[in-house]
């Protein structure tokens, strides 16, 4: 088997998602507008992924920095196929929503499934590139498994702060022992830029977000996701079966590494107290 992901030489997030986005889309038999690992147990991948977004929003509301006004402006970094926008809209109906994604295909699909939803805008570009950001004041930023790809997180947070953001809420895969990524070529494309919990916290604090809290939900994410991937029948899978095999292999290893705390799944709130 040629390891497509393993052989990425210039393995930036854009290349990684161009190769894998279609496989993510087909993981659930009815297709899924989410690309996250889900909260388990759940009856299927779609429900698990939907539940994860809901849990992230509930966690965002638990932050002391959270101020749900009648209308606030939210930037979602890496909104995938657009499923998250729908969950956000259900919970915060008056939000002015901006989604920023480096994948044109995902944005086009997200625009189709959110058509008719008021105050919804998608922007094509990398979070690292200020030019692609919405030219408006932003109150809050959310990222579900996306900011882990950003190389200079401190710079990103400083720029968000300068845009008016007083709360950032993330769901992230963290790596406590970078050696596990360096020693496994399958992990490098997706995990090479992530960091430890301490590093996340110090980047937030350096950027002016002093109120940082987190919850570790590794045990509710990794084992269930690895089992769900293993249960996808290759014969019925409409995406690239080689990518599916590589997902299965890397996520079963990640689930094992999570047991010893070397890889973690956490929700993080970072806020500015005013
Ligand atoms: C694992 S997917 C998660 C998608 C979505 N948040 C969800 O929960 O379904 C990561 C997303 O982040 C986007 N992404 C990755 N790196 C990015 C970057 N540097 N700037 C903007 N988007 C990025 C990818 O295109 C993809 O949509």
User: What are the pocket residues of ligand 1 if the criterion is a CB atom closer than 6 Å to any ligand atom?
Assistant: 13, 17, 34-36, 77-80, 83-84, 100-103, 106, 126-128, 144-146, 149-150
The full 3-state SS of 156-187, as one line of letters, equals HHHHHHHCCCCEEEEEEEEECCCHHHHCCCCC
The pLDDT score that the predictor gives to residue 56 is 98
Q: Can you name the residues that pair with 264 across neighbouring β-strands?
A: 174
What pLDDT digit, counting tens, does each position of 195-236 carry?
999 999 999 999 999 999 999 999 999 999 999 999 999 999
Q: What is the predicted pLDDT for the residue at 44?
A: 96
* pLDDT for 274: 64
In ligand 1, which atom is closest to the CA atom of 33? 9
**Ligand 1 centroid – CA 78 distance (Å):** 3
Task: Quote the pLDDT of residue 246.
Answer: 92
Cβ atoms of 97 and 121 within 8 Å: the answer is yes
The CA 67 to ligand 1 mean position distance, Å, reads 25
Domain boundary assignment for the chain = 13-271
pLDDT the model gives residue 1: 33
Query: With pLDDT > 90 as the criterion, what percentage of the chain qualifies?
Result: 84
The topology (CATH level 3) of 13-271 is: Rossmann fold (3.40.50)
Burial, 143: exposed, middle or buried (Cβ in 10 Å; 0-12, 13-18, 19+)?
Answer: buried
Answer whether 147's CB lies under 8 Å from 127's CB.
Answer: yes
CA–centroid distance, residue 142 to ligand 1 (Å): 11
- For the CA of 83, the closest atom of ligand 1 is 9
For residue 150, the ligand 1 atom closest to its alpha carbon is 19
CA distances from 40 to 36, 162, 220 (A): 12, 37, 5
pLDDT tens by residue, 41-76: 999 999 999 999 999 999 999 999 998 777 899 999
What are the pLDDT digits (tens) for 71-99? 899 999 999 999 999 999 999 999 999 99
What is the per-residue pLDDT across 142-153, written as a single tens digit (0 to 9) for each? 999 999 999 999
Q: Report the number of secondary-structure helices (H) and strands (E) in the chain.
A: 10, 7
Which of 15, 75, 80, 103 gets mutated to test ligand 1 (max ligand atoms within 8 A of its CB)? Answer: 80
Check whether 254 has a pLDDT greater than 90: yes
């Amino acid at each position: 088997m040629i390891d497509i992901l393993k052989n990425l030489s210039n393995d930036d997030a854009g290349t990684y998602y161009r190769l894998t986005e279609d496989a993510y889309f087909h993981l659930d038999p009815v297709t899924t507008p989410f690309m996250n690992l889900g909260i388990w147990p759940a009856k299927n991948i779609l429900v698990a992924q939907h539940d994860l977004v809901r849990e992230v929003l509930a966690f965002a509301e638990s932050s002391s920095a959270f101020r749900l006004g009648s209308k606030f402006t939210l930037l979602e970094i890496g909104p995938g196929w657009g499923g998250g926008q729908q969950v956000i809209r259900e919970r915060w109906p008056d939000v002015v929503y901006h989604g920023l994604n480096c994948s044109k295909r995902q944005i086009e699909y997200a625009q189709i499934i959110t058509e008719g939803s008021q105050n919804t805008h998608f922007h094509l570009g990398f979070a690292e590139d200020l030019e692609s950001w919405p030219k408006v004041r932003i109150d809050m930023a959310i990222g579900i498994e996306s900011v882990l790809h950003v190389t200079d997180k401190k710079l990103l947070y400083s720029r968000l702060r300068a845009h008016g953001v007083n709360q950032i809420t993330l769901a992230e895969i963290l790596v406590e022992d970078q050696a596990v990524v360096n020693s496994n070529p399958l992990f490098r494309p997706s995990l090479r830029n992530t960091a430890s919990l301490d590093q996340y916290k110090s980047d937030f604090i350096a950027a002016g977000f002093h109120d940082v809290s987190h919850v570790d939900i590794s045990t509710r994410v990794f084992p269930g996701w690895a089992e769900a991937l293993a249960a996808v029948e290759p014969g019925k899978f409409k995406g690239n079966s080689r990518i599916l095999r590589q997902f299965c292999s890397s996520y079963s290893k990640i689930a094992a590494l999570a047991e010893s705390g070397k890889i973690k799944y956490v929700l993080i709130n970072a806020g500015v107290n005013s």
